[in-house]
Amino acid sequence: MTVGLRPEHIVIDAAGIPATVVTVEPTGSETQVVMRLGGQTLIVTLRVRVNIKPGDLVPILPDFGQLHCFDEAGQRIN
């Protein structure tokens, strides 16, 4: 099974798992943040201004209600 999550469904939350900030790109009303977590690269879209910089450890948490699951053939399960 493969699990997918859209960048806007990941939030900064003190209860989250620390991820390392790679780049921060303000784009007006949103901020795109590239992070590394467990050997994976994640893109997080934040709709708030943040004061973070590359190298920072930031606790992130997925919105578990927004997870998308796929089978081995790439067909959506849920």
Residue 76 lies in a domain: no
CB 24 within 8 A of CB 66: no
Stretch 27-54: mean pLDDT: 94
**pLDDT tens by residue, 14-36:** 999 999 999 999 998 899 999 99
- Residue 77 located in a structural domain: no
What pLDDT score was predicted for residue 48? 85
Domain count, the chain: 1
pLDDT at 19: 98
19 belongs to a structural domain: yes
- Position 28 scores a pLDDT of 87
CB atoms within 10 A of CB 47: 9
**Contact present, 6 and 67 (Cβ < 8 Å):** no
